[in-house]
Each structure stands twice: as C-alpha cells, then as structure tokens.
C-alpha cells in the first residue's frame, strides 16, 4: 500500500514538473534602444530582439507602424534572423518631454503541433528631458541676427541725419571761419604796408 502511494506521489510530481516546463515561456522577446534618455525630437534606434529555442519557430511577428503610441516611426528595417536570434530595428522620435514606454506588443511562436502561443515583448522605458540641459539658468543665446530685426532702418536714419548736417550746418559755419581766419595773401600785404609806413615815417623824421 505504501509503495503504491509513493509511486502515485512521484508520478504527480513528474507531471507537475513537465506541466510547469511546458507552460513556462521558452521564447524571450524584448525591446532595446540606442539611448533611453533621448532629447525632444532626437531620432534614436529601437530594436526588437527575439531569442528562440531550437525546437520553436516564429509564427506571428508584430506589425509596428507610424504612429506607434507616443513614438513617431521614421523608418523600419527588414527582419533579420541569425541562428536562433531574430531582430528588427526602427528609427523613432519622441516629441514630448515626459516618461514614455513602448506599447504592449506580442508575438506568436509554435513549439510543434498546431498550437500557437503568444508571448509579450518586454517593454522599454524612456525618460525624455527638457530641451535645456540640467542646471542651465538661461537659454543658450542665438548666434547671428534674424532677418526680421536686421538694423537697416537704423543705419538709413543715421545716414540721413549726417547728410542733413553736412548740407545745412556746415555752409553756415564757412563765412564765420573766413572772417576769423584771414587769408595768407591778405596778411602778407598788410605786413608789407605796415613796414612801408614805418619806413616812410622814419625817413621823414630823419629829414
């Protein structure tokens, strides 16, 4: 009696072990990314990687199209398989500074027979910072001048004022300058006249 009871217990344990092994996922699928903290609007690569066992085969592959949750899908590479490893890469963009996660994704595989099993793809989590770098107090100043604020009107106004000054003010100053500063020829003539007058006076007194 005890032998039959012991044999029944062993049989139950073996069946439970086989059932647990059969129900456990034998295909691993996950998302990997070139960066998990992309900037707002920065394209980065997201890759779906699947590892198969020798006795399994993929039956259903997830179709990812734009838009895909919070992601903008820029480009999709073809599916590649090397041995038991299958992968597909995408170039995606996140446009909001927030925490994001890949949408729920599933793939189907077969392990012999006509049964198809689906396994979820392990999500990838992202943290999108703001456009400014951490610790920056002021925005980075723009280089150059935008066309809308180019200082041509101010330059034209200054040039016009200079022209008015040259045409109106300078001519009025010329007569005064001529009066206060006698010509050189007039000064020479005046000097000669003074010398002649002095000479004549001296000669007259000498007589």
Residue with the larger pLDDT of the pair 176 and 168:
168
- Mapping DSSP to helix (H, G, I), strand (E, B) and coil, where does residue 76 land? strand
Task: Tell me the H-state helices in the chain.
Answer: 2-23, 152-180, 184-206
Q: How far apart are CA 194 and CA 200, in angstroms?
A: 10
Are the beta carbons of 107 and 61 closer than 8 angstroms? yes
DSSP string over 153-195: HHHHHHHHHHHHHHHHHHHHHHHHHHHHS--HHHHHHHHHHHH
Closest among 68, 51, 66, 58 to 105, alpha carbons compared: 68
**pLDDT higher than 50, residue 87:** yes
Residue 19 corresponds to which tokens in the numbers above?
């059932």
Q: What is the pLDDT of residues 40-51, one digit of tens each?
A: 999 999 999 999
Residue with the larger pLDDT of the pair 100 and 15:
100
Note the residue count of the chain. Answer: 207
**pLDDT higher than 60, residue 151:** yes
Exposed, middle or buried by CB within 10 Å (0-12, 13-18, 19+), for 31? middle
- Mapping DSSP to helix (H, G, I), strand (E, B) and coil, where does residue 19 land? helix
Closest among 169, 41, 58 to 117, alpha carbons compared: 58
Report the 10 Å Cβ neighbour count for 158: 11
Q: What is the pLDDT of residues 120-131, one digit of tens each?
A: 999 999 999 876
**pLDDT higher than 60, residue 178:** no
User: Would residue 45 be called left, alpha or beta, if left means φ above 0 and alpha means ψ between -120 and 50 degrees?
Assistant: beta
Residue with the larger pLDDT of the pair 192 and 93:
93
Among 58-67, 102-111, 142-151, name the one with the lowest average pLDDT.
142-151
pLDDT of residue 153: 72
Residue written as token pair 């092994």: 21
Closest among 127, 84, 120, 82 to 103, alpha carbons compared: 120
Report the 10 Å Cβ neighbour count for 185: 8
Fold of 25-127: Immunoglobulin-like (2.60.40)
User: Would residue 13 be called left, alpha or beta, if left means φ above 0 and alpha means ψ between -120 and 50 degrees?
Assistant: alpha
The residue-averaged pLDDT of 176-188 equals 58
Are the beta carbons of 84 and 35 closer than 8 angstroms? no
pLDDT of residue 136: 46
pTM of the predicted protein model: 0.53
């Amino acid at each position: 009696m005890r032998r039959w009871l012991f044999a029944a217990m062993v049989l139950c344990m073996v069946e439970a072990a086989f059932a647990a092994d059969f129900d456990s996922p034998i295909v691993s699928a996950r998302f990997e990314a070139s960066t998990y903290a992309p900037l707002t609007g920065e394209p980065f690569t997201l890759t779906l990687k699947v590892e198969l066992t020798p006795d399994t085969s993929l039956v259903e592959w997830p179709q990812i199209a734009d838009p895909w949750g919070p992601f903008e899908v820029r480009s999709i590479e073809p599916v590649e398989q090397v041995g038991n490893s299958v992968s597909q890469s995408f170039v995606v963009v996140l446009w909001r500074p927030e925490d994001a996660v890949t949408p729920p994704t599933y793939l189907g595989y077969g392990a012999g027979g006509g049964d198809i099993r689906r396994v979820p793809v392990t999500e990838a989590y992202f943290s999108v910072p703001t456009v400014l770098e951490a610790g920056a107090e002021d925005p980075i100043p723009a280089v150059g001048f935008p066309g809308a604020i180019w200082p041509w009107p101010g330059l034209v106004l200054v040039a016009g004022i200079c022209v008015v000054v040259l045409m109106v003010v300078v001519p009025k100053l010329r007569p005064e300058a001529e009066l206060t500063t006698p010509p050189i020829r007039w000064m020479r003539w005046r000097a000669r006249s003074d010398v002649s007058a002095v000479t004549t006076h001296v000669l007259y007194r000498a007589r």
